[in-house]
Amino acid sequence: MATGESDAARLAAHSNGVLSERLSARFKGVADRTFDSLHESDFRILWLGFMGSWFAMQMQQVARGYLAYELTGNALALGLVTLAMGLPRIVLSPVGGVLADRFTKRSVLLYTQAALGLIALFQALLLSFHLMTIDWLIVAGFLQGTAFSFNMPARQAYLPAVVGKGDKLANALALNNAGMNLTRVLGPALAGVLIAVPFIDVPGIFYIIALCYIWVWWSVYRVRNPGRAEGERRSMGRSIGDGFAYIYRRPHLLALMGLGFIPLAIGLPYISLMPVVALHDLDVGSVGLGILLSAGGIGSLCGTLGVAYFSSYPRKAFLQQILGIVFAVALVAFGYFGWHGMLLPAIPCLFVAGLSSDAYMALNSTLIMMNTDAGVYGRVMGVYMMAQSIRPITVLPISALADAIGTSVTLLGCGAVCGLFIFAVVTLYPGYRQIGMNEAPRPSVV
């Protein structure tokens, strides 16, 4: 009897061991596939370095808003500071794209990261010596927006130079977005806690931000691949015109630009309107607002990690189409439930909206890069960054519409517009479905 029991125990232990090994192997396989591009040492260094930049951006958003309101006591100052940072990015991003093509990407990033660090340090010193005013804060925002205009196109154009244009590019771009989403969850909370610490406060936040940018600079400096210059030397005006002409001559790029801009401009402002939905339509207070924002943030992180895992899926345009429709439907559903004051079904809608929208945008960036020639990476991404920078401006008319007809109804309409636009592009341009099926675009000269 004892022998039978011990045999059964050994058999159970063996079965558990086999199951554990299989689960471990399965988990390792999923992790290896999801984080595939991190096996490239240059990208791993860049990604870890960019985490510092994303944390800096999230902490700065909280600190600048807090400081603007503390200095003036009115909400208009928040809009002015945001506008000061956004306007240069709309105007100068194409110029940044030309610089990314004309010089090595690493050089552009080194100079712009140094500038961002010095601007943060300048603000920290003004605060330490009690010299900060709203005027200085607006000037600093304008300077930062200018630096970002030159930084972001080079940053995006650097990735295909480091990881290539195959499936690893899709994986790398998705992991970039996943890193941003992670800091979107942790960064504001960290900034809020640190502001409350007496010996840190707002000046300390800006010193930390400066240190984050120094970390990014050091990481970029360590990357071996310089991201060589491939664009032709022409006048600035002609180079910018060539970038727009390159996009205009390629229907698939025009389609992707539109598919990136409309959902971003019309759909994603739902995040800015969330306080109104939580406090007015759903009447759930600050706790409910935190739950809603967390649901969307967690969904965004899951969505970008999912794109990283499925980076080798060949029908990327088809997948993007499905994700875009899912986002539109989720936003319509959230607007409906918010309109009727129903919190519980609204939470999973926000999770799905966050997941599908971030996965959709990650795929859009991937498809643009996969269908762009190396000599115009920077200029194409400069135009794309310019389009993305318009989003803060579109929040204003959408907010005005929300005041006029109701926030939840506005969000319901925004979701419907996004869904109809995506459906129209797919229907009117059948070639869209084939985008991404071939990794290499046809050769072209700009």
- CATH number of the CATH domain containing 255: 1.20.1250.20
Alpha-carbon gap, residue 25 to 30, rounded angstroms:
9
Q: At residue 446, does pLDDT exceed 70?
A: no
Q: How far apart are the first and last CA of the chain?
A: 84
Clarify whether residues 103 and 210 are in a common domain.
yes
> What residues have CB less than 8 Å from 153, skipping those under 6 apart?
93, 96, 97, 99, 100, 378, 379, 381, 382, 385
Residue 4, domain member (yes or no): no
Residue 30, domain member (yes or no): no
Q: What's the structural domain count of the chain?
A: 2
Q: CA of 2: how far to CAs of 7, 8, 10, 15, 260, in Å? A: 9, 10, 12, 20, 69
Residue 226, domain member (yes or no): no
Residue 338, domain member (yes or no): yes
Residue 28, domain member (yes or no): no
How much is the average pLDDT of 58-74? 81
The answer to whether the CB of 43 falls within 8 A of the CB of 159 is yes
Alpha-carbon gap, residue 63 to 193, rounded angstroms:
11
Please give the pLDDT value at position 31. 75
Alpha-carbon gap, residue 367 to 355, rounded angstroms:
18
Clarify whether residues 174 and 273 are in a common domain.
no
> By mean pLDDT, which of 13-22, 190-199, 293-302 is the weakest?
13-22
Q: At residue 440, does pLDDT exceed 60?
A: no
Clarify whether residues 424 and 290 are in a common domain.
yes
∠ CA 290-296-302, nearest 5°, is 130
Top pLDDT among 29 and 171 is at 171
- Is residue 4 very low, low, confident or very high in pLDDT (cuts 50, 70, 90)? low
Structural domain boundaries enclosing 320: 250-438
Clarify whether residues 171 and 286 are in a common domain.
no
Clarify whether residues 265 and 210 are in a common domain.
no
Q: At residue 111, does pLDDT exceed 80?
A: yes
How much is the average pLDDT of 80-103? 87
Q: At residue 402, does pLDDT exceed 50?
A: yes
How much is the average pLDDT of 1-15? 59
221, 240, 263 - which closes a domain: 221
The answer to whether the CB of 287 falls within 8 A of the CB of 343 is no
Q: At residue 117, does pLDDT exceed 70?
A: yes
Residue 27, domain member (yes or no): no
Q: At residue 437, does pLDDT exceed 70?
A: no
Please give the pLDDT value at position 443. 40
- Is residue 74 very low, low, confident or very high in pLDDT (cuts 50, 70, 90)? low
Give the 3-state secondary structure of the chain. CHHHHHHHHHHHHHHHHHHHHHHHHHHHHHHHHHCHHHHCHHHHHHHHHHHHHHHHHHHHHHHHHHHHHHHHCCCHHHHHHHHHHHHHHHHHHHHHHHHHHHCCHHHHHHHHHHHHHHHHHHHHHHHHCCCCCHHHHHHHHHHHHHHHHHHHHHHHHHHHHHHCCCHHHHHHHHHHHHHHHHHHHHHHHHHHHHHCCCCCHHHHHHHHHHHHHHHHHHHHHHCCCCCCCCCCCCCHHHHHHHHHHHHHCCHHHHHHHHHHHHHHHHHHHHCCCHHHHHHHHCCCHHHHHHHHHHHHHHHHHHHHHHHHHCCCCCCHHHHHHHHHHHHHHHHHHHHHHHHCCCHHHHHHHHHHHHHHHHHHHHHHHHHHHHCCCHHHHHHHHHHHHHHHHCHHHHHHHHHHHHHHHCHHHHHHHHHHHHHHHHHHHHHHCHHHHHCCCCCCCCCCCC
- Is residue 285 very low, low, confident or very high in pLDDT (cuts 50, 70, 90)? confident
176-229, pLDDT tens digit by residue? 888 888 887 788 778 878 888 888 888 999 999 999 999 999 999 999 998 888
Clarify whether residues 191 and 333 are in a common domain.
no
Mean pLDDT of the chain: 84
- Is residue 9 very low, low, confident or very high in pLDDT (cuts 50, 70, 90)? low
